[in-house]
Chains A and B, each alone.
Chain A
Amino acid sequence: MPGSPPTVKGMTADFDRRNADWFIDKAVQVLVFIGGISAIIFIIAIFVFITKEALGFILDRFDFTEFFTSPYWYPADEDDPEYGILALIAGTASVTGLAMLVAIPFSLGAAIFIAEFATGKTREILKVLIELLAAIPSVVWGFIGLSIMNPLIIELFDVPVGLNVLNAGIILGLMAAPIMTSIAEDALKAVPDRYREAAEAMGATRWQMIFKTVLPAAKNGLLGAILLGVGRGFGETMAVLMATGHSVNIPHSVFDSVRALTATIAAELGETAVGSDHYQVLFTIGVFLFLITFVINLTADLIVRGVRKG
């Protein structure tokens, strides 16, 4: 066509050719797929490698009953090492239990306040504060336990040692609370407004509506939040290491010093020889921790996912 303006392509008969863009698109598809499965690969790899290091102990010296029911943990004893982690489990459980006792009511209360009562600016500010709280690193919390909580407890309760279940429990509670508040708040927000409107239409006040309608509707998400908090408690290392003291024993009161599973690994791994029994049993504890937190997180996710979808 005379004087025709520039065109994008001529009317060639055969347009069905694979060009560079086609190949690049396929290549990208492969690359992102690799990225996608990387998470699966890593989780499997974690399990494989920690089991590999623990294998010797697990196959030869592992005694299920002794491991889980004996409170005697003497892995470094040359003559007669004992590998009972009951006391360690008790340590983890007691600290996590106390932490949940502290965190659950307060996170729930805070979540209810933010989701149901606070508005606009207040809500924004509170949410930002909570987010910042969640960012405080574990080792800083441990330091707080050591330097601030420790003397505080000694003075307030008149006990000789301030590094104990109470110390770590409170700290862990303060650590887990922000995340639990976040998830609980999401769960409450997920309850459709029509539930609230229906209750109000029937003359219920705010608090009646919350207790009778919103909370029960959100119970799945709230349960998920609690489970996530428990998972966090089980897995926490540095804060617990620094605030629980160093006694391996089953606690009889909150003022007893204990040792948690995670802290034990952190405290003792540096002193073991690669491949030794002590080394391998620490990895075995790692496997145990992996499996437990796997189950907790899986359950929590199933429950929470159920909420977010519905």
Chain B
Amino acid sequence: MVTAVEAAQASPAAAPGQAAVKLAVKDLTIRYGSTVALGNVSLEIREHEIFGIIGPANAGKTSFLKSLNRMDMFNTDMHVEGETLFNGRDIRHLKNVYALRSRIGVVFPLPVGLPMTVYDNVALAPRLSGLKNKADLDIIVERCLTRAALWDEVKDRLNSLGSLLSGGQQQRLTIARALSQDPEVLMLDEFSIAVDPVTTMRIEDVLKELKHEMTIILVTNLVQQARRLASRTAFFLNGECVEIGNTEELFTGEVTDTRTRDYVEGRFG
């Protein structure tokens, strides 16, 4: 039973004509020891959008993602200040942090195939939340592997070790795993580094479909990829969120910061 209060908290009232806010950060600052990786970032990510984040290396993009699913918990050096709201709820003070992470799927640039069968790789998240029925698991495994553009290649060898697949296959396996969580938010951190261009295109098509079911945050160093997929994009540079806006405006508009324009036009990278 969900009370009116809880329902309201679940999706904060949206402004008319605008989708609800899924994730919001306010004055977010991330430090490693005394080094500031990200300073005073405030932004909102809306439901059912693909939110792009672009910027050069060491801009703080990956740290940002890590703070969103509370993976900073495992790094004693990492300190996060500021407010982070997920569905309107403050995630820096949770009773069960693991439950948060089961709602957020993430794909990192380095492919990781777990040392178990391909089937078990994708069935892991459902099993962790208590799903045991083999028929149900079969359906989930096939659906996620298909969406990750991997089903055709592994459907006859679901029992082979996930950790012994090729790099590109392991990356798609990672995506399949993230999808198997049935997440509310899917975060992808430069996923296409380990994947060939054709497969990248297939996955981009899948992402466009998926956004109707979930919210997607796409960190990418392929500026054109952000342009293809993201409705709004943020530009991170040297630990600062330089600007956020509609993707098209960011790329073509005159009302953009010179740094953004320089990066987008390839003057540095």
Question: Interface readout for A1-38 with B: 1 if CB under 8 Å, 0 if not?
Answer: 00001111101111111110110010000000000000
Task: Assess the A18–B96 pair: CB atoms within 8 A.
Answer: yes
Known contacts A8-B140, A9-B182; A22 and B98 CB within 8 A of each other? yes
A135→B256 CA distance, assembly (Å): 73
Q: Is the CB of B139 within 8 A of A17?
A: no
Please pick, from A13, A15, A18, the residue contacting B7 in the complex, using a CB distance under 8 A.
Answer: A13
List of B residues within 8 angstroms of A11 by Cβ: 10, 184
Q: Are A9 and B129 in contact (CB under 8 A)?
A: yes
Q: Return the chain A residue nearest B94 by Cβ.
A: A16
Q: Given A5-B140, A18-B96, A19-B99, are A13 and B2 also a contact pair (CB < 8 Å)?
A: yes
Question: Which residue of chain B has its CB nearest to the CB of A19?
Answer: B96
**B48 CB, nearest partner CB in chain A, Å:** 13
List residues of chain B with CB within 8 A of the CB of A9: 102, 129, 182
Q: With contacts defined as CB atoms under 8 Å apart, how many contacts are there between chain A and chain B in the complex?
A: 53
Q: Which residue of A lies closest to B182 (CB)?
A: A8
B95 partner, pick from A6, A7, A17, A25, beta carbons under 8 A: A17
Q: Is the CB of B139 within 8 A of A6?
A: yes
A11, closest chain B residue (CB): B184
Q: Which of B179-201 contact A (CB under 8 A)?
A: 180-182, 184
Contacts of B242 in A (CB 8 A): none
Across the interface, which residues of A come within 8 angstroms of B184, CB to CB?
11
Residue B103 interfacial (CB < 8 Å):
yes
Main secondary structure of the interface of A (DSSP, over half): loop
Contacts of B162 in A (CB 8 A): none
Q: Are B6 and A6 in contact (CB under 8 A)?
A: no
Q: B143 is contacted by which of A5, A14, A15 (Cβ under 8 Å)? A: A5
Cα A265 to Cα B95 with chains together (Å): 57
Residues of B within 8 A of A21 (CB): 98, 128
Complex contact B100–A16 (CB within 8 A): yes
Q: Is B125 an interface residue (CB 8 A)?
A: yes
B92 at the interface (CB under 8 A from A): no
Task: Check A6/B140 contact, CB under 8 A, given A12-B2, A13-B2.
Answer: yes
Please name all residues of chain A whose beta carbon is closer than 8 Å to the beta carbon of B10 when the two chains form the complex.
11, 13
- Residues from chain B with a CB closer than 8 A to the CB of A12 are 2
Interface flags for B93-129 (1: CB within 8 Å of A; 0: not) read: 0111011101100000000000000000000011011
- Shortest C-beta distance, B210 to chain A (Å), equals 14
Q: Is the CB of A17 within 8 A of B96?
A: yes
Q: Is the CB of A16 within 8 A of B96?
A: yes
Minimal beta-carbon separation of B11 from chain A (angstroms): 9
Q: Which residues of A contact B182 (CB under 8 A)?
A: 7-9
Q: Is the CB of B139 within 8 A of A5?
A: yes
Bound CA span A18–B103, Å: 15
A16 near B180: Cβ-Cβ < 8 Å = no
Q: Is the CB of B2 within 8 A of A16?
A: no
How far, in angstroms, from A87 to B95 measured CA to CA in the complex? 66
Residues on B with beta carbons closer than 8 Å to the beta carbon of A16: 89, 94-96, 99-100
8 CB-based A-B contacts, threshold 8 Å: A5-B139, A8-B140, A15-B96, A15-B99, A16-B89, A17-B95, A19-B96, A21-B128
- Chain A contacts to B: CB under 8 angstroms: 5-9, 11-19, 21-22, 25
Instruction: List residues of B whose CB falls within 8 A of some A CB.
Output: 2, 6-7, 9-10, 87, 89, 94-96, 98-100, 102-103, 125-126, 128-129, 131, 136, 139-140, 143, 180-182, 184
